[in-house]
Structure 1
Amino acid sequence: MAVQAILFDLDDTLIDRRATMPKYAARFAADFADALDELTLEQLERAIVETDGGGYRGRDKFHDLLATLPWKKRPAVEALIEHWNTVFPQVVEPMNGLFTLLNQLAVRGYRLGLITNGQSERQNAKLDLLGIRDYFDVTLISAEVGYEKPDPLIFLLALEALGVEAEEAIYVGDHPQNDVGGAEFAGITPVWRRGCHPWPADQAEPEHQFVTLAEFLLWLEEYVS
């Protein structure tokens, strides 16, 4: 069947978390300046990146920041959580070529969907700050729908909302299990954005993969031709 719909992950696929971290570290340093002992921005950014775990750690990462950073006056863990949830979405950086990608896909008539794990307020704030919400015909956030990747049900909900069959869609994401594995379980062709999460050494890499969004567009042209 011809490809009718393209589904995307958000973080580390359309949003560049690596480019965002220096901006977040700068805000963190400014907002907690009175509470932190002296350290460089590079040291702070490294600590934040290491405790973040690529976006796949929960409350524990904030406890680790409390234990790792040189505090003069240690804040409550809730203050760090609130700062992350409020400030990180304000400083997110798009992947290079994001708007070229979305505009070209819209011109070509593809139905577009977004499936992202995370809290509703934080993920919605990212979409609004980047101004990309209206590109998508359906947006599913795990906290809002009650399922999260790699559960195939969240992928099937997206297909139903778009009015397409699994064979008519492809899914683009960076995480081997949540994105590639979840899409495969739902019967959707996965396309792996490599370079963030390593592929498991005991498994064969996906047939379809890319690094930059420009590469994805080139891949798509060949795939549908």
Structure 2
Amino acid sequence: MHKTTTNDTTTIDPNAKKLIVFLDCGDTIIDEGTEIRDEHDVVIQADVIPGADLMVKTLAERGYILALVADGRAQSFKNMLTQNGVYDYFTTMIYSETIKASKPSPRMFKAAIGALDLSEQDCYRIVMVGNNLSRDVKGANQMGITSIFLNWTSRYPKVHADESEIPDYTINNPMELIDLVEKLNEQLE
């Protein structure tokens, strides 16, 4: 359940959906090919993948809790997601820089679960969407989280190296995620 706390009063958002959506950033929301970095390797500018901004906004507006679970530097994500108007749609953001681990490490997923005040018993109602079979898909599969592979870029392998990298679902563009998430949420309710 999505909770909002104001002045020591907790209210449950009646529009919150049961399904929770974890999203990667690079080549899932942001086109890594457009990244411009400063001298400290922080991304200062990048473009969104066509439709990814609308996908994020639509899911949030429909009551889905969104968590960013991404490898990289916190300031890079703040810059890219703010510039593209989607930063404020995330309930929590988990970065490898602050967690001191990278996907597929369970620490990344457990940090997001904890930040949302969930437990590992909630993994059945979480989906992880990402572009990388060896990180996003493998990490989600190891945790019992539904894995969704965004087959959008040619920068990473599209064929699984072993059984642990086989996604539960594959989509080819960000907008396809909306109908899939709605279908998966209906199966939970």
Q: Could you say whether these structures have the same fold, taking a TM-score greater than 0.5 normalized by the shorter chain as the test? A: yes
Secondary structure, aligned partner of 2:63: coil
Match among 177, 184, 188 for residue 216 of structure 1: 177
**Runs of 4 or more consecutive aligned structure 1 residues displaced over 3 Å after TM superposition:** 81-84, 201-205
Q: Count how many residue pairs are aligned between Structure 1 and Structure 2.
A: 163
- Asked whether 1:131 is paired with 2:69, we answer no
Give the aligned partner of residue 195 of structure 1.
Answer: 152
Task: Please give the alpha-carbon distance, in whole angstroms, between the structure 2 residues aligned to 1:160 and 1:127.
Answer: 22
Q: Matched residue of 1:213: which SS?
A: coil
Larger strand share, 1 or 2: 2
1:159 is aligned to: 113
Greater Cα shift, 169-178 or 194-203 = 194-203
Which residue identity does 2:185 align to in structure 1? V
Kindly indicate whether structure 1 or structure 2 has the higher relative contact order, using CA contacts under 8 Å at least 6 residues apart: 1
User: More helix per residue: 1 or 2?
Assistant: 1
CA distance in 2, matches of 1:96, 1:182: 26
Listed as ranges, the gaps of 5+ residues in structure 1 are: 25-80
SS at match of 2:41: helix
Larger Rg: 1
**C-alpha spacing 1:185/1:132, structure 2 compared with 1 (3 Å):** same
TM-score by length of 2: 0.76
Q: Cα RMSD over matched residues?
A: 2.2
Answering whether residue 137 of structure 2 is matched by residue 180 of structure 1, we say: yes
Q: Identity, % of aligned pairs?
A: 26
| Aligned 8 A contact 2:150 2:170 in 1 | yes
SS class of match (2:182): helix
- Superposed displacement of residue 83, structure 1: 4.0
Give the match's secondary structure for 2:140.
helix
Q: Look up the equivalent residue of 1:170 and give its one-letter code.
A: V
In the alignment, which of 41, 57, 81 is matched to residue 85 of structure 1?
41
Q: Deviations over 1:181-206 (max 9, x none)?
A: 01111221110111322223655742
Q: Which runs of no fewer than 5 residues in structure 2 stay unpaired?
A: 1-16
1:49-68 correspondence to structure 2 within 5 Å: none
**What is the SS of the residue equivalent to 1:183?**
helix
C-alpha distance in structure 2 between counterparts of 1:206 and 1:145, whole Å: 24
